[in-house]
Structures are given as structure tokens and as C-alpha cells.
Structure 1
Amino acid sequence: MKLKTRDMILVGLFAALTAIGAFLKIPTPIVPFTLQFLFCAFAGVFLGSKLGLYSQLLYVGIGLAGIPIFTKGGGISYIFQPTFGYLIGFILCAYIVGKMTENLREIKFMNVFLPVVTGLAAVYAVGVPYLYVIINQYIGKEMSFMAAVKVGLVPYVVQDVLLSALVAFTATKVVPTLRRAGYVGIRQN
């Protein structure tokens, strides 16, 4: 499959933004609050499903190759970190958000907000069970699934929904302009 140079640059840009988002963090026990989700959702909205997916695959691939771009470093052993499931969720999120928004005729707040929240749900649907399994099976500490939800979802869901609203609001302002210029999605006349 061939990508245009512009598409490769955009994929790399959003992978880099997601990496930067990993370092803009508020440390909390087990799962830090970061801006990775914000850039992951923007990748889906601005790049669409395919390129958004590629940007997050690139981000995760670079980190697994050993470049320390995750919140706690990098390398293949990062798959044993309790938070690695969220990184897998980012890949799904970018694809889901892109798939649900790339063919929208009208870019309205709710038309974008609901897909972004759906992508967020995918992040949590992968991240929380992964956290639970790694802590119980690999680290060997006992944690109930409800405790994993309390640690890996509850403290972050409000902020992430607010970030989802920010993504939707930004998209209503930026995407129509980018479409008119022919840079993303369906062209509007």
C-alpha cells in the first residue's frame, strides 16, 4: 500500500503529538493522567480511520522498539506494564473515531462528540481489563475487577469526557475549513 508524502507526515505528526501527550502528565497511582487520549482522538477526527490507526500504530511501534516515548519508558517489556492496554485502546480509538467521523456530511458538536466518547469507551474497554489481568497474573497482586475500575477508569472519566468535548468543539471549527481546502474528508462546497 502506498501513502502520499503528506499522509506520512501527518501520521508521523500525530504519533509525535501522542508521544508528547504522554509526557504532559499528572502522576497518579498506577495510571497517570495524560493528554495521549486527546491527540489520539484528534488523529481519528483529522486523519480518518486509516491514517489515524496508522499514527497510533506508529506511536506504539516506536515505543515497543525501545524509544522511551511511553509514560514510563519503552521497549518490548512494556507490554507487561499495567497501562499497556490503554495504548492498545488508543489504536482502536483512533480507528473508531475516524470511521465514525470521516464521512459525516455535517460537522456538528454531537456528531463528533458521540464518536469520540465511543472511542474513549474502547480505550477503557481494553485498558481496564488489561490492567486487571497484568496486576493479578503478572505482578501477582490481588485486585478485584471493581478495584481495577476504581483505579483505571473512575478518576479519569470526567476529564476524558471533557477532553472529548474539547475535541468535538475544535472539530466543528477546524474540520469544515480543512474540508473546504481539500485537506481532509468530504469536500464541502
Structure 2
Amino acid sequence: MQRNNIRSLVFIALFAALFIIMSSLTIKLGGSLVPITLQTLGVVLAGLFLSPRNAFLSIFIVIVLTAIGLPLFSGGGGIAQLTGPTGGFIFAFPFCALLVSLAVGLFLKTHSSKENKWLAIIIFFLIFELFSSLAAYIPGIPWLMHMTGLSFQKAMTVGFYPFIIGDALKSIVGTILAISLTPYIVYIRSSTIRSNKQDVEIQG
């Protein structure tokens, strides 16, 4: 049990660190308020490899550390960073990782990627595109409008349209990894889920 708990903590810390690294790789399009980063890919990987709880925690921990003042989101930190124009996206990320993990877990339970490889490719791509990318825009765009006073169309122009192709490419990368590493994904997810269940049984 203790070994499983340590394993879960290690994986949470590992994917939190991975998300931080991907957040630091930033490209700004002119004077755009929303930078291009690899954060979405970090969300994809956390949701792919970790149980729903651990996937959520791996991203949420980064938000907590940023709130304390550590410059972990695109080189910025503090409450101002979290409540700025991109705040809606930031707070969506833990929930996106949770949704990705739930969807991946459901798919892996009901289907084998070896049975129909093309079906698996399509399903994984849709999971990543819907839950790691598009889901973040649901709170992200309204918050961007609220903080900047931009109209919906203008907010979409600066906060959505420039990122469509990049989001799709990151979903493709996630899909390639999901298909290539399925046995490892199943092993890691099952080991951390067992740890979570044991924690619940002890608390009960």
C-alpha cells in the first residue's frame, strides 16, 4: 500500500513537472493576449497516463504553486497571473485532465487498441481534441472577454482561431503516443488506480 502511494505521488510530481516545462515554452503572436504553449499537450499526457484523481492533482498543484508566487505559467506567477486574461484557460486545465483520464479509462475498458487500430486512433484523437483543447475554451473565452472587454468575435479571433491547428497537432501527438505506448499506459493507470482505491477503503 505504501509503495503504491509513493508511486502515485511520484507520477503526480512527474507530470506536474512536465506540465511546468511545457508551460515555459511560450510563443507570443504579436501583441496577442493568449500565448502559444505546449500546456495542452501536458494536459493530454496527464490524462492519458494517470488516474482521474491524479491527473487532476498533477495540474492543480501547479496552479497552487503559481498562486503562492512561483513563476510556473508562461514565466509568470502570483494571483495576478491566475486571474489575468488567460485565467479561464488555466483553471480549466485540471478539469480537462480529469475528463481526458475518465474518457481514456472508459475507452480502454471497453475496447482494445489492438482490435481496431483505426478506431482507436479516431477515438483517442477525439478525446484529446474535445476534452484537452475545446473544453478549455468554454471558460477561457468568456473570461478573456470579461477581463479585456473584447467582443465575442474579437475574443475568438485572438484566443481561439490562431490555436486550432496547433491544438489538432498536439492531439495527433497524444494519439501517436497513446497507440504506441498502450501497454505502459494501462500498467501505469492500473497501478495508480489501485492505490487510490486502497486510500478510499482505509478512509471508509
* Length-normalised TM-score, structure 2: 0.81
Answering whether residue 167 of structure 2 is matched by residue 160 of structure 1, we say yes
Letter of the 1:157 counterpart: I
Aligned partners of 1:49 and 1:99 also within 8 Å: yes
CA distance in 2, matches of 1:17, 1:183: 16
> Whole-Å Cα distance in 1 between the matches of residues 185 and 105 of structure 2?
12
Distance (whole Å) between structure 2 residues aligned to residue 177 and residue 76 of structure 1: 37
Structure 2 match to 1:176: 183
In the TM superposition, 1:140-151 aligns within 5 A as 143-151=150-158
Change over 3 Å in CA distance of 1:114–1:48 after alignment to 2: farther
1:131 matched to which residue of 2?
144
Give the RMSD, CA atoms, in angstroms.
Answer: 1.7
Distance 1:25 1:65 in 2: 21
Q: 1:99-110 residue pairs with structure 2 within 5 A?
A: 99-103=102-106, 104=108, 105-107=111-113, 108-110=120-122
User: Residue deviations 1:81-117, cap 9 Å, x none?
Assistant: 1011111121121011000001323232122111111
Q: How do residues 37-186 of structure 1 correspond to structure 2 at under 5 angstroms?
A: 37-103=40-106, 104=108, 105-107=111-113, 108-119=120-131, 120-136=133-149, 143-179=150-186, 182-185=187-190
TM-superposed deviation, 1:72: 4.3
Out of 80-89 and 35-44, give the one that drifted further: 80-89
Are residues 88 and 163 of structure 1, via their aligned partners in 2, closer, same or farther at CA, if it must alter by over 3 Å? Answer: same
> Which segments of 5 or more consecutive residues in structure 2 lack a partner in the other structure?
114-119, 192-204
| Superimposed CA distance per residue, residues 44-82 of structure 1 (whole angstroms, 9 cap, x where no aligned partner) | 011032111111111111111111111141112223310
Aligned length: 177
Provide the rounded CA distance (Å) in 2 between the counterparts of 1:177 and 1:37: 21
> Runs of 4 or more off by more than 6 Å in structure 1?
none
Amino acid at match of 1:184: R
Q: Which has the higher contact order (CA 8 A, sep 6+)?
A: 2
Q: Check whether the contact 1:48–1:101 (CA below 8 A) recurs between aligned residues.
A: no
Residue aligning to 2:5? 4
* Equivalent of 2:39 in 31, 36, 50: 36
Judge conservation of contact 1:85–1:128 (CA < 8 Å) in 2: yes
Structure 1 residue runs without a partner (length 5+): 137-142
> Is 1:46–1:175's contact at 8 Å kept on the other side of the alignment?
no
